[in-house]
A and B are shown apart, each in its own frame.
Chain A
């Protein structure tokens, strides 16, 4: 059920045009420890890791080694290292407190000052000025003050465009929002480095005007998040909206920090920017993570207005647990807010926006927990989804200038409770008269099952009542009845309601076709579920033995049972080779008896021969014909033996070859003996 609630809440959050951002919390800290765990040779990456850990106040140190300080010193010592490397080396050194010699810094400072004068591109000026500011912070003995700050200010300003954006260099016509952020930061640096007062009243107000123009370009999401997007794509490196917004926030807040007087930006915009950064969640990329956390830290302590974030530890209120609805107000990084009161202006059901269930109630403050809470819900609050409208009222009128809390904040709240399920019964009725044949009362909270039987002329009626904790009608999102036949064929029916009573009548006569005329045992399963119903259930009610008529020929065939998708990867069914079924053989004894019987005619033949007085007197007496006679019989016997062998094992070709030889031999001797006999008999005749 918990997943249902979360799923429904998530869905609603997607649909509703407001969202609640949570300030940076411990999950961000642990994510940072996981994310910045690789040692990168680049000083820029090392700085990002160090800065994130510093802002989030993570005890554990990022994986930068002693080599990092070594690399820093190497970069600072070399007179030819690029400006960008110098800049990040100084930044890392500022956090790690590397032991940098004052003389080295002096040398770098003079090199940087010379560069600032000659620099033509915005990036060169940005890195040089930035580095000088860092040197100023790290070693107060080094002279970093710019004597011609006014001129440098102008040269940066010369790159600005009329729409508030900046160009990277004078010969590059493309303007960029990202560059505007860099330029503002550089201008802030120039102001802080100026040896004499810049003609602030004029120059600074022009820049403030530029900032206002730049903020005209800001874009907005439906949930109130504001961000900058870079339209400029043909440049060398395209910046995504996160780094662009981050750059602008860095530039504007640092500019605001060094100038006197307020920069007039609407509080909603600052809050919107905070929402944008918080709305990202926990980025998976180190660069994004750094941009998010650094920008939030700038917003946390900016001089324009500090956003306050209202968040709820949980947006689900259970009527059964009678807990408290807690509301927290923090800054973006999770620090405590100034004294304030949270007011619940209105609360209304999502279904009926006009009728408020709560009107203007002040939340109490828990000093120890640091949260505001609504201790008791009014009696008329029933289960359902509601929208609570909060407003933050600052106690101190001075803090109203510093902080921005936004106007009315809409928060979706889910009020859950236990739904009373009662008067559940299941009955089998006679179709024509409506007489109750079988009637059983069900306890849907229990586990008992019923067993029924019905035929196609009868009806099955299931009914139950749902009542919300306040005794009102409750209509759940899901109320299904599932009939499952023995063959796993399922039929799902929606359970409708009339008033509090949920009822479903199955007229089997009308359903036979849908049930595919399948008689037999059907399992009845009832599912009642809702996001705000704490006792959602899906349980087996029992089974019904259905006796349905035979399917007519034209009836639809029941669908084949669904194939388990995992079975595709399982073993294949064993292949059964179909051989010809051997014919029925007679009993062996019978065959042997007949084998014996076959001998009977032969014995009869022999007996007959004896009775006829057959003898071998005609067999030739002299040697040569006798030999031929013997050989003739031998030849015949050999041929017959060959036939037997042919039957048993020889093939036709071998047989025919051997038969040819034997045949020729037998023919020869046969001819000799028979012609001898013929000669003898003709002699006898003639004699």
Chain B
């Protein structure tokens, strides 16, 4: 049993190491987007924790704050999909065009968010 548990943890470590090494091969620009997505999700999580602590009173503010983060994250994921060179589907799409879409969508999203913030 003990042997199996150590082997399991070892397997897990091996697995993570393999994942990490595979991930290290990702281009830097994609890593930046990943980092950005993580930042947005963590910010959203913090807001959820805050809401759980003090209540939902300015509910629209909470919603707009969380949705702003989630929306940003989703848009960033979309950008990542379009920018990724491995994705043959978007081969013809220039990354600059994708970035321009990302910026425009963010601006529209935040206009709505600001309107909803109250």
Contact = CB atoms under 8 A, between A and B. Distances in A.
Interface of A: 583-586, 590-591, 594, 597-598, 600-602, 604-605, 608-609, 612-614, 636, 639-640, 643-644, 646-647, 652, 655, 659, 663, 670-671, 674-675, 677-678, 681-682
Interface stretch (B2-10, B13-21, B30-38): B30-38
A594 B39 contact: no
A597 B46 contact: yes
Interface string B42-66: 1100110110011101000000000
Query: Of residues B95, B97, B111, which shows the largest number of chain A Cβ atoms within 10 Å of its Cβ?
Result: B111
Contacts of A675: 96
Contact of A670 (B36, B47, B103): B103
Shortest 3 CB-CB contacts between residues of A and residues of B = A586-B54, A605-B39, A601-B42
A647 B35 contact: no
A611 to B, nearest CB: 9
A646 to B, nearest CB: 5
Interface in B58-100: 94-97, 99-100
Contact of B32 (A584, A597, A609): A609
Contacts of B100: 670-671, 674
A584 B55 contact: yes
29 contacts: A584-B57, A585-B57, A586-B55, A590-B53, A590-B54, A591-B50, A594-B49, A594-B50, A598-B47, A601-B38, A601-B39, A602-B39, A604-B42, A605-B36, A608-B35, A609-B35, A612-B31, A612-B32, A612-B35, A636-B103, A640-B110, A646-B114, A647-B117, A659-B111, A675-B96, A678-B94, A678-B96, A678-B97, A681-B96
Interface of B: 28, 31-32, 35-36, 38-40, 42-43, 46-47, 49-50, 53-55, 57, 94-97, 99-100, 103, 107, 110-111, 114-115, 117
A643 B103 CA distance: 14
A598 B57 contact: no
A614 B32 contact: yes
Nearest to A673: B96
Given A602-B39, A639-B107, A586 B28 contact: no
Contacts of A597: 46
B101 to A, nearest CB: 11
A605 B97 CA distance: 24
B41 to A, nearest CB: 8
A651 to B, nearest CB: 11
B interface, by DSSP: helix, strand, loop or mixed?
helix
Contacts of B117: 647
B26 to A, nearest CB: 10
A636 B103 CA distance: 9
Contacts of A612: 28, 31-32, 35
Contacts of A644: 114
A644 B117 CA distance: 11
A646 B103 CA distance: 19
A643 B111 contact: yes
Contacts of B43: 598, 601-602
B57 A583 contact: yes
B66 to A, nearest CB: 12
Nearest to B58: A583
Nearest to B41: A601
Contacts of A655: 111
A315 to B, nearest CB: 84
A643 B110 contact: yes
Contacts of A659: 111
A601 B46 contact: yes
B98 to A, nearest CB: 10
Contact of A604 (B39, B53, B114): B39
Contacts of B50: 591, 594
A640 B49 CA distance: 26
Contacts of B46: 594, 597-598, 600-601
B27 to A, nearest CB: 10
Nearest to B69: A601
Query: Of residues B53, B97, B99, B103, which shows the largest number of chain A Cβ atoms within 10 Å of its Cβ?
Result: B103
A663 B43 CA distance: 27
Nearest to B115: A652
Contacts of B110: 640, 643
Contact of A674 (B35, B54, B99, B111): B99
A600 B107 CA distance: 24
Nearest to B57: A583
A477 B111 CA distance: 89
A677 B111 contact: no
A605 B46 CA distance: 15
Query: Of residues A598, A604, A655, A682, which shows the largest number of chain B Cβ atoms within 10 Å of its Cβ?
Result: A598
Contacts of B115: 646, 652
B28 A613 contact: yes
B31 to A, nearest CB: 5
Given A594-B46, A598-B43, A605 B35 contact: yes
Contacts of A591: 50, 54
A605 B69 CA distance: 14
B104 to A, nearest CB: 8
Contacts of A681: 94-96
B110 to A, nearest CB: 6
A655 B49 CA distance: 32
Given A586-B54, A602-B43, 9 more contacts: A584-B55, A601-B38, A601-B42, A605-B39, A613-B28, A643-B110, A644-B114, A652-B115, A678-B96
A671 B53 CA distance: 45
A655 to B, nearest CB: 8
B24 to A, nearest CB: 11
Contacts of A677: 96
A43 to B, nearest CB: 95
Nearest to B107: A639
A591 B28 CA distance: 36
Nearest to B54: A586
A143 to B, nearest CB: 120
A679 B49 CA distance: 46
